[in-house]
Chains A and B, each alone.
Chain A
Amino acid sequence: MPAASMRNVTKRYGSILACDRVDFTLEEGEVHALLGENGAGKTTLMSILYGLVKPDEGEIWIWDRRAKLRSPRDAMKLGIGMVHQFFTLVDSLTVAENLALAAGGGLLSYRRDAEKLLRELGATLDPSAYVWQLSAGEKQQLEILKALARGARILILDEPTSVLTESEARWLFKFIQELKSKGASIVFVTHKLDEALAVSDRITVMRKGRVVGSARSCEVSKRELAEMMVGREPPKARRGRRRIGGTVLEVRELAVRGDRGELAVSGVSFEVRAGEVFGIAGVSGNGQRELAEALAGLRRPEGGEVLLAGRDVTRAGVGERRRLGLAYIPEDRLKAVALDLSVAENLVLTCYSSFCRSLTIDYRAVGEHARKLVGEYGIVASSIRAPVKSLSGGNVQKLVVARELASRPKLLVAAYPTSGLDVAAAAQVRGRISSAAAQGAGVVLISEDVDELLEVSDRVAVMVKGRFTGVLDACDASRERIGILMGGSVEA
């Protein structure tokens, strides 16, 4: 009897088909890898299984009974547990306390109950350790244990190795086998080919919302899987010749720490020249955000150097870098705007000093500037005095792009600039970035969309776990090569 069966599941977000008539079956007691690139629909599909998202069409059967999942609570009642990429643990509490919160337990005896549970599940965690003391791998172990403590027999692991080191990942695979031997059925969502082959019994590949193929791991080869994941090579977009000038950005052996103290970026070196677009590919969470922040001046690097237009800016703040010609489009667009301020004010947020006459701001000039940009970029707002919080996400992004490009930067750092935008808006942004390069800016473009990178970039680097696994010239790069580099193998 299959543990879970999803039939004809479809989910639409506006005009985008996240899941297109998907059939997915999880047999009892198996480890089933759900493989695909980012945006393939894997997380959406599993969110539907966990009750986080309601499908537009399709049926879900759990243990051969039709299930109506209105929320994660329903899913948990049926024995489905999901471990996400972010942690839902309380840092200041101990392991035992977090387990007790998840699983119940007596008023006074909860610690003993938790210790018993840990022993039964064969976990190696110290019940009295505080969560803030745990490593990422241990935290994840705790998240899995929480799900199991609530009686989960179907376990969904969403990209679990994205936060783990090599050895932690190996330990995780062993733990998964143990859980399997104890009767759990597991879905392992990943974009890494090698992992899918190593850990699972069966693999299902998704691409652009559809199931492309399904096979037993022992019967399929890496090449076949890669082809299924990536599909046929799309026609190369024609890119106009650009004049490449002098070096605007030099990065040497950059090392940056992340929020949890781990080394998010290590040993990264590259150069960007005027007129060149340097793309950085890779699944988000591999240090791209920290790298972007270090380039922008919002995060102090641990080691290495950053030279902007020949000047050492490694320790310089964002204001100084902007004065040297930096523009930055951050990953989290909400950090790039002041929601309560007007459209016009936000359009000068990063360059208000240039609208100043001694101590005052020339608001008339600000207004003119705003009207010009709103017209040029087609930003939809009730007026330039409207607060930015009344704008839609896509228009906020257009505002940010408009503002950053209006300053005619020497170096543009753009992190995921088209995320969340519809097809037309995304194309417009890509066009603007290209023309900024054509006008002499050096661009660092960080994106998860390989097609986008291939269309716009002159060179593409692939970033995995804080390092560049390879840097390719656009004419040599193919989706397959990039896909393999993203899987972790390093290219000499």
Chain B
Amino acid sequence: MRLEKRESTPRWLQAAAPLGSLCLAFAAVSALFAASGVSPAEAVKVIFASSLGSSYGLSETVVKATPLLLMGEGLVLSFTAGVWNIGCEGQLLAGAVAATWVALYSGLGGVPGLLLMFVAGAAAGAAWALIPAALKAKMDANEVIVTLMLNYVAEKVVEHLIYGPWRGASEWGFPYTDEFPRWAQLPTLGATRIHIPTLALALASVPLVYWVLSRSKLGFELKVYGSSESAAEYAGVSKARVVLACLCVSGMLAGLAGVGEVAGIHHRLRYPRGVSCGYGYTAIIVAWLGRLNPVLTVLSALFLGSLLVGGDAIQVKLGLPRGVVDVFNGMILLSLLVGEVVSRYRVVR
């Protein structure tokens, strides 16, 4: 018995594989919960009730889905070209740091200040991604490792800032910066925590990425490069252009997500895990689950957003630790991978 590549994946399998994967993940997580002394049925109830069962829950789902959608769309572009940006977490933090500087130390205010926050955040995210991009374009350095390592460098930079030069004067030694001034706190939708500017950017990114992939010249080049590096070289597609575009755009979107978190939710720069609870890694799942399709990514962002909200709820209601969300994420990603193998290969005797 061995595995053989399929020439093409039938339509039904393309749809069934991710759904099957989700079921597999669901079953596995239930088993793990049961083995851990937690009733799976109870957990499911809490997750759905908290994220979809109330209007507040739904709004919280949108709050979590906003950064996921921003970064997910960027990763759709990047992964289509086969450029593995694992560094959204660090790029998000870079954007958060830039926004914090504008809010607290730039001396600006009002609308110009607000605009500068977003521009600076986007630029910072793109710049953080520029490092692996340049290294890959010039020296063929593996972008997976570089972006991964830079995540942790970014974390340490944030820690240095909040414990050191940017430590809040009024916060009794807690690792926060000062609270942002009012102009730098993003407007929210009614009584919810949904921060409108970032949500608008996230929604705008969907048609933008769709247009790039399906209509633009760059999108064509991304697809060619993602299919075969040697065919891309043969066709005269510039590797440097593709790599730089992918990493900088996805870095920019991650930077914007960082601005949103820090200016829209926390109103200060905090300990890295407090700013982003692994959004950068969850975004990878969002892009994969959405099958690298810009429109389906909206659905997968909402789905994972609701899981994150549910994860928070079962921590509170069932006394489970923070890591339970990692179990979800890990299991879903693993199952998606297995599903992808099933759709790419067939078993042959």
Q: Touching in the complex, A and B, CB below 8 A?
A: yes
Contact of A353 with B228 at beta-carbon distance under 8 Å, contacts A298-B234, A318-B236, A336-B234 already known: no
Q: Which of A298, A341, A363 has the most CB of B within 10 A?
A: A341
User: CB-CB < 8 A to A335: which residues of B?
Assistant: 228, 230-231, 234
Assess whether B8 is interfacial by the CB under 8 Å rule.
yes
The stretch of A80-88, A111-119, A204-212, A354-362 in contact with B is A354-362
Query: For the complex, what is the distance from the CA of A367 to the CA of B156, rounded to whole Å?
Result: 52
In A274-308, which residues have CB < 8 Å from any B CB?
A: 298
Interface bits B194-217 vs A (CB < 8 Å: 1, else 0): 000000000000000000000111
Whether the Cβ atoms of B217 and A339 lie closer than 8 Å is no
Assess whether A350 is interfacial by the CB under 8 Å rule.
yes
Whether the Cβ atoms of B217 and A337 lie closer than 8 Å is no
Assess whether B269 is interfacial by the CB under 8 Å rule.
no
Assess whether B188 is interfacial by the CB under 8 Å rule.
no
User: CB-CB < 8 A to A353: which residues of B?
Assistant: 217
Assess whether B7 is interfacial by the CB under 8 Å rule.
yes
Assess whether A365 is interfacial by the CB under 8 Å rule.
no
Whether the Cβ atoms of A361 and B223 lie closer than 8 Å is no
Closest Cβ neighbor of A389 among chain B residues: B7
Whether the Cβ atoms of B217 and A336 lie closer than 8 Å is no
User: CB-CB < 8 A to B218: which residues of A?
Assistant: 359
Which residue from B226, B227, B231, B236 sits with its C-beta under 8 Å from A336?
B231
Assess whether A319 is interfacial by the CB under 8 Å rule.
yes
Assess whether A325 is interfacial by the CB under 8 Å rule.
no
Closest Cβ neighbor of A342 among chain B residues: B223
Whether the Cβ atoms of B231 and A352 lie closer than 8 Å is no
In A20-35, which residues have CB < 8 Å from any B CB?
A: none
Which residue from A334, A345, A389 sits with its C-beta under 8 Å from B223?
A345
Whether the Cβ atoms of B231 and A337 lie closer than 8 Å is yes
A342 to chain B minimum Cβ distance, whole angstroms, is 10
B315 to chain A minimum Cβ distance, whole angstroms, is 42
Whether the Cβ atoms of A350 and B234 lie closer than 8 Å is yes
Whether the Cβ atoms of A319 and B236 lie closer than 8 Å is yes
Closest Cβ neighbor of B236 among chain A residues: A319
Query: For the complex, what is the distance from the CA of A165 to the CA of B224, rounded to whole Å?
Result: 40
User: CB-CB < 8 A to A334: which residues of B?
Assistant: 228, 231
Whether the Cβ atoms of A359 and B216 lie closer than 8 Å is yes
Which residue from B216, B231, B234, B236 sits with its C-beta under 8 Å from A360?
B216
Query: For the complex, what is the distance from the CA of A345 to the CA of B228, rounded to whole Å?
Result: 14
Query: For the complex, what is the distance from the CA of A387 to the CA of B215, rounded to whole Å?
Result: 18
Query: For the complex, what is the distance from the CA of A360 to the CA of B220, rounded to whole Å?
Result: 9
Assess whether A215 is interfacial by the CB under 8 Å rule.
no
Interface bits A320-343 vs B (CB < 8 Å: 1, else 0): 001000001010001111111100
Assess whether B233 is interfacial by the CB under 8 Å rule.
yes
Query: For the complex, what is the distance from the CA of A340 to the CA of B228, rounded to whole Å?
Result: 8
User: CB-CB < 8 A to B233: which residues of A?
Assistant: 298, 318
Query: For the complex, what is the distance from the CA of A356 to the CA of B218, rounded to whole Å?
Result: 11
Whether the Cβ atoms of B8 and A359 lie closer than 8 Å is no
Whether the Cβ atoms of A390 and B236 lie closer than 8 Å is no
Interface bits A384-397 vs B (CB < 8 Å: 1, else 0): 00110110000000
Whether the Cβ atoms of A339 and B8 lie closer than 8 Å is no
Whether the Cβ atoms of B235 and A360 lie closer than 8 Å is no
User: CB-CB < 8 A to A359: which residues of B?
Assistant: 216-218
User: CB-CB < 8 A to A298: which residues of B?
Assistant: 233-234
B82 to chain A minimum Cβ distance, whole angstroms, is 10
Assess whether A104 is interfacial by the CB under 8 Å rule.
no
Query: For the complex, what is the distance from the CA of A6 to the CA of B230, rounded to whole Å?
Result: 42
Whether the Cβ atoms of A345 and B220 lie closer than 8 Å is yes
Contact of A350 with B235 at beta-carbon distance under 8 Å, contacts A338-B223, A339-B228, A341-B223 already known: yes
Query: For the complex, what is the distance from the CA of A166 to the CA of B84, rounded to whole Å?
Result: 47
Whether the Cβ atoms of A330 and B216 lie closer than 8 Å is no
Assess whether A349 is interfacial by the CB under 8 Å rule.
yes
Query: For the complex, what is the distance from the CA of A431 to the CA of B176, rounded to whole Å?
Result: 76
Assess whether A317 is interfacial by the CB under 8 Å rule.
yes
Interface bits A377-412 vs B (CB < 8 Å: 1, else 0): 000000000110110000000000000000000000
Contacts from A to B (Cβ < 8 Å): 298, 317-319, 322, 328, 330, 334-341, 345, 349-350, 352-353, 356, 359-361, 363, 386-387, 389-390
The 3 A-B residue pairs with the shortest CB-CB distance, nearest first, are A319-B236, A338-B227, A340-B227
| A–B complex contacts, Cβ < 8 Å, 15 sampled | A322-B236, A334-B228, A336-B231, A336-B234, A338-B228, A338-B231, A345-B220, A345-B223, A349-B234, A352-B220, A353-B217, A361-B215, A363-B215, A389-B7, A389-B8
* Further pairs besides A363-B215, A390-B8: 4, Cβ < 8 Å: A338-B224, A339-B228, A340-B228, A389-B8
